[in-house]
């Protein structure tokens, strides 16, 4: 329905000033042709305005928040970090797509994914020598019926033994390390060498870290491996795997841990297996076997979008 300026004036004049401003903003969006967009922005404005009214937000507090957001742009930090530390990234995953129980759960992408990676084949190492303790992972990419998916492209990336990702190093020079890309064959199998990731402190030196400091909030992420898997006709899977007994599982800065994504790698002490798998030194290593289950759009139990 097109709202005329006369109708808007009549409606607003019946409200007190503090309520009227909310209605005025609603009316300014009222001719938007897309009902879902209109619905989202109406709710966003309601929540924002209610927050201001309920907290009696001061001008100084409002300005501090604007300056805080401006710092992200000026200092070139990742806005996604803010979504992660407020739990919004995880919440969106939780409410947007309900998967069948046997499908692998999604969790956050994080700000350190990049397309610049190593194209590898099964058995190769994503990590250069000296990046940490040896870790071997294998598994299959499957559909919800348990059939292997051929042609799935799996990106995996991780922090090294210092809890640092390749792109965070000043001398990175577009040379990927601790990340690689694999493509499955007809059997859906993948296998790679890596290093066992460690928990790492939230090292961002920008506005998000200042905020966590001010709130005395946790600044650690439990150890994890990142995965992004795409395959024709399947929904993209972005997920992470965590390790049992990690002291930060319950207090993850990014609230991204899901019970189904916690794994328990096995320590392999037979160093002949270490060498046979292609590691350079005859040392014990951890091994993990874990499948990933992708869904098609029609497998999802979808919530009805509100409008």
Residues found near Fe ion in the complex (CB under 5 A) = 110
Q: Which residue is nearest to Fe ion (CB)?
A: 110
Nearest to 110 by CA among 224, 192, 207: 224
Q: How far apart are CA 24 and CA 11, in angstroms?
A: 9
Nearer Cβ to Fe ion (108/141): 108
Provide the minimum distance between the beta carbon of 39 and Fe ion in the complex, in angstroms, as a whole number: 34
Residue 203: CB minimum distance to Fe ion, A: 11
Question: Up-side HSE of residue 54: CA atoms within 13 Å toward CB?
Answer: 6
Question: Judged by CB, which is closer to Fe ion: 143, or 160?
Answer: 160
Least Å from the CB of residue 129 to Fe ion: 22
Q: Which is nearer to Fe ion, 110 or 207 (CB)?
A: 110
CB within 8 Å of 183: residues ≥ 6 apart? 151, 152, 153, 154
The Cα 234–Cα 163 span in angstroms is 32
Q: How far is the CB of 168 from Fe ion (least distance, A)?
A: 11
Supply the minimum distance, in Å, between the C-beta of residue 140 and Fe ion: 24
User: What is the Cα–Cα distance from 164 to 131, expressed in whole angstroms?
Assistant: 10
- For Fe ion, give the closer residue by CB, 29 or 78: 78
For Fe ion, the closer CB: 200 or 234: 200
Task: Tell the residue number behind the tokens 């439990």, with chain if given.
Answer: 222
Give the contacts of 107 (CB within 8 A, at least 6 positions apart): 90, 93, 238, 239, 240, 256, 257, 258, 261
């Amino acid at each position: 329905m097109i709202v005329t300026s006369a109708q808007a004036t009549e409606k607003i004049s019946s409200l007190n000033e503090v309520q009227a401003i909310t209605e005025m903003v609603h009316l300014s969006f009222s001719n938007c042709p897309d009902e879902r967009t209109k619905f989202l922005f109406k709710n966003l404005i309601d929540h924002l305005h209610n927050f201001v009214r309920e907290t009696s937000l001061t001008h100084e507090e409002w300005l501090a928040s604007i300056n805080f957001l401006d710092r992200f742009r000026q200092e070139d930090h990742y806005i996604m970090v803010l979504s992660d530390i407020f739990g919004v990234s995880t919440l969106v995953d939780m409410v947007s797509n309900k998967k069948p129980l046997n499908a692998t759960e999604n969790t956050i992408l994080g700000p350190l994914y990049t397309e610049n990676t190593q194209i590898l084949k099964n058995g190769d190492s994503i990590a250069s020598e000296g990046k940490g303790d040896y870790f071997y992972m294998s598994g299959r990419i499957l559909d919800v019926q348990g059939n292997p998916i051929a042609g799935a492209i799996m990106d995996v990336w991780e922090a090294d033994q210092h809890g640092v990702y390749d792109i965070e190093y000043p001398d990175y020079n577009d040379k990927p390390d601790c990340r690689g890309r694999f493509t499955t064959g007809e059997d859906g199998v993948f296998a790679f060498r890596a290093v066992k990731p460690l928990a790492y402190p939230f090292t961002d030196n920008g506005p998000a870290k200042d905020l966590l400091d001010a709130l005395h909030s946790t600044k650690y992420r439990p150890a994890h491996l990142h995965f992004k898997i795409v395959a024709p006709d399947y929904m993209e899977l972005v997920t992470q795997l965590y390790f049992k007994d990690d002291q930060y599982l319950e207090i993850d800065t990014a609230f991204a841990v899901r019970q189904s994504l916690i794994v328990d790698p096995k320590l392999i002490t037979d160093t002949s297996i270490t060498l046979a798998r292609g590691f350079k030194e005859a040392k014990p290593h951890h091994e993990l076997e874990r499948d990933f289950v992708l869904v098609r759009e029609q497998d999802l139990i979808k919530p009805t979008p509100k409008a």
